[in-house]
Amino acid sequence: MLVTLSSVLQKAKRGHYAVGAFNVNNLEMIQAIMAAAEAEKSPVIISTSEGAIEYAGMDELGTLVHLAAERSKRPVVFHLDHGKDVKLVERAIKSGWYTSVMFDGSSLPFKENIKTTKRLVEMAHKKNISVEAELGAIAGMEDFVSVEARDAHFTNPEQAVEFIAKTGCDALAIAIGTSHGAYKFKEASALDFKRLQAIRKLINIPLVLHGASGIPANVKKICIDHGCKIEDAKGVSDAHIRKAVSLGINKINIDSDLRIAFDAGVRRFLAENPEVIDPRKILGPAKDLITLVVRQKMNMFGSRGKG
């Protein structure tokens, strides 16, 4: 069933677990993620980025997710990820498809981020749609050489208090050292947990961790063994994800891990079955690998059995 982000995350906050938000671009990814939610009896957030909408269409993705959610007993949130274009966020709110939107004003000056987020929150709440907002630059620990540089770019706890009070947003994406994509760290996984603790202490709404893919070694190996050049890819360690959840993260965004699972499934199948030309057969193993990865995340985030 379709539900709002707020309802799912408030429950997660009370239960001290996190719910995965998985990016989709096509039917197969939606099917794979829903299969994982059914198997794990987990709530799930299905996210579409601006790029996904450009690729597949808002109405097309909305139709597929609504059908899947209506057929399922699991709580399903349909979420717009990283809406940077205000017009697109407004379109998503008006469309009737989304139960949650993210306005990403992180690159705007603080006051402008507040002003636009507040306006979109008012508009979304009239339609019972939740709003996630973002404060701070989502970038890796290694991108900043000094503590001062991190302070200037990562989420400032006091600013976060003011931001939430003035905007009324339902969830906040914070910057504590994760980054988007498959290349997050040159050395070991490292996050600013002190900052997360400081933010959690001052703030009472659910917190969101973007850029949380782990680049699982087994999936990465299948990709590499079949010709994919991702040797240097490195994600957030499972231990750090668990620690982030224990310190109060309630929504965890995953895209890159689904991409490498898809890639691994397609590459391996084609290498082992060079005579097959049927897309349904080619994409089947890719779906199965995505389901496996998503099930593993649901277990790690603690959302198993919560839906």
Q: Which residues sit at the interface with ligand G3H, rule CB under 6 A?
A: 23, 49, 51-52, 81-82, 180, 255
The Cα–Cα gap between 121 and 101 comes to 9
Lay out the site mask for ligand 13P across 186-225 (x = CB under 6 A, - = otherwise): ------------------------xxxx------------
Catalytic-role residue among 81, 170, 257, 263: 81
Is residue 206 within 8 Å of residue 251, measured between CB atoms?
A: yes
As given in the structure block, the two tokens for residue 266 are 């397609």
Distances from the Cα of 93 to the Cα of 23, 51, 97, 122, angstroms: 18, 17, 8, 11
Question: What are the tokens at 137?
Answer: 């630059």
Is there binding between residue 210 and Zn ion (CB under 5 A)?
A: yes
Does residue 184 belong to the site contacting Zn ion (CB under 5 A)?
no
User: What is the nearest approach in angstroms of ligand G3H to the Cβ of residue 202?
Assistant: 26
Site for Zn ion in 256-275 (CB under 5 A): none
The three state secondary structure string of 72-101 is CCCCEEEEEEEECCHHHHHHHHHHCCCCEE
**Min CB(259)–Zn ion separation in Å:** 13
**Using rule CB under 6 A, residue 181 touches ligand 13P:** yes
Interaction partner, residue 213 (ligand 13P, ligand G3H, Zn ion, none; CB < 5-8 Å by kind) = ligand 13P
- Span interacting with Zn ion, options 151-159, 206-214, 228-236, 240-248, rule CB under 5 A: 206-214
Residue 59: which residues within 8 A CB-CB, separation 6 or more? Answer: 95, 97
Binding of ligand 13P at residue 250 (CB under 6 A)?
no
Please, which residues have CB within 8 angstroms of residue 277's CB and are 6 or more apart in sequence?
none
Any idea which residues carry the catalytic annotation?
81
The contact set with ligand 13P (CB under 6 A) reads 23, 81-82, 180-181, 210-213, 253-257
